[in-house]
Amino acid sequence: MKKALVCGAGGFIGSHLVKRLKAEGFWVRGVDLKYPRFSPTQADDFIVGDLRDLAVCHEAVDTRFDEVYQLAADMGGAGYIFTGENDASVMHNSAQINLNILEACRRRNSFRIFYSSSACIYPEYRQLEAENAGLAESDAYPAAPDSEYGWEKLFSERLYAAYARNHGFEVRVARYHNIFGPEGAWNDGKEKAPAAICRKVAQAGNPGEIEIWGDGEQTRSFLYIDECLEGTIRFMRSDWAGPVNIGSEEMVSINRLAAIAAEIAGKTITPRHIPGPLGVRGRNSNNKLIFEKLAWRPSQPLKSGIAKTYAWIDQQVQKTQRPKDAPKPAIRQPEIVAAE
């Protein structure tokens, strides 16, 4: 039976990836600071541990794995990475994880390793306008990411490439473009625009109003989790190292994203534009290279992914939202068991 290691298996993409690898018949070990938040892990073995600690990395890679997926990172949406408040920890934590895990893999000859880089590595000067024809992989240099998160990703891309060059690693580097779907962060300050907008629409009345950071004319493309996993697995099993974009080419403004969510919810929603962390003005994926190399590219419309994500977030909101006039639930006292 083939063995896979998923670092960051308690996170959004990692927990979905574990399910996918299990469905393919792998024996899977997950590692993370925490178990997945929304459903039990399907990993055969799960180490709750800190990958900044080299000893934990050696424990995680105590045998040879056929495939290693390195998804662990200190990351979040615009509200987390563009405020500047988390810059030092984002850079330190994620770089430390990558430095450690590569050494641990080297010791056990686990050479095929996937690294999740980001669209955030692309230079700001190519993303100054809302109109963006798509960022090609070759656009990465001269480097000028707009966040420290992006700089760390770029450093780590180079670190993985160096291990491939000097130590015979079979590295696969993908640049994810804003991945979304059920069981992702939606209310903890790390949520990205798709989850945040779905949550705001779900919490709004009908008719209602939602807050949007900026003028809402900034653009992004969003990729649904299933297609992200499909691209990741196909790429990992290919004989090509990348880096490659794994993202959608369906670019929309954040106002349009809100309109799609409102339509799915069946609500009349008015956006209220407020100041907030914005990031780049316009970003889109260019999928020419992935199609050329893998004869595959994402194809699902944004709306179908948002419909599934909205349904899940609406459920979470219902679970946490008690109508103001609803009777308070009775507090259950612990049962007193009479001593014999």
213 binds, among ligand NAD, ligand GDD, none (CB under 5 to 8 A by kind): ligand GDD
Name the residue nearer to ligand NAD (CB basis): 3 or 192: 192
Query: Binding pattern to ligand GDD, positions 77-96, x when CB under 6 A?
Result: xxx-x---------------
122 binds ligand GDD (CB under 6 A): no
**How many chain residues interact with ligand NAD (CB under 6 A)?**
25
86 binds ligand NAD (CB under 6 A): no
116 binds ligand NAD (CB under 6 A): yes
176 binds ligand NAD (CB under 6 A): yes
18 binds ligand NAD (CB under 6 A): no
Structure tokens at 83: 């405020």
Within 13 Å of residue 187, how many CA atoms lie on the same side as its CB? 18
Judged by CB under 6 A, the residue of 16, 52, 172, 220 near ligand GDD is 220
Angle at 322 (CA atoms; ends 320, 326), nearest 5 degrees: 160
Structure tokens at 275: 């100041």
Calculate the CA 65 to chain-centre distance: 23
Residue nearest to ligand NAD (CB): 11
Q: How far is the CB of 179 from ligand NAD (least distance, A)?
A: 4
The strand pairing partners of 272, in sequence order, are 211
Radius of gyration of the CA atoms of the chain, in A = 21
* 122 among known catalytic residues: no
71 binds ligand NAD (CB under 6 A): yes
Helix (H) or strand (E) holding 273: strand 269-274
Judged by CB under 6 A, the residue of 21, 57, 60, 97 near ligand NAD is 97
Tell me 217's DSSP state: -
Percentage helix, strand, coil for the chain under 3-state DSSP, each rounded to 5: 40, 20, 40
Tell me 282's DSSP state: B
Name the residue nearer to ligand GDD (CB basis): 172 or 283: 283
Helix (H) or strand (E) holding 318: helix 302-320
Positions marked active-site: 149
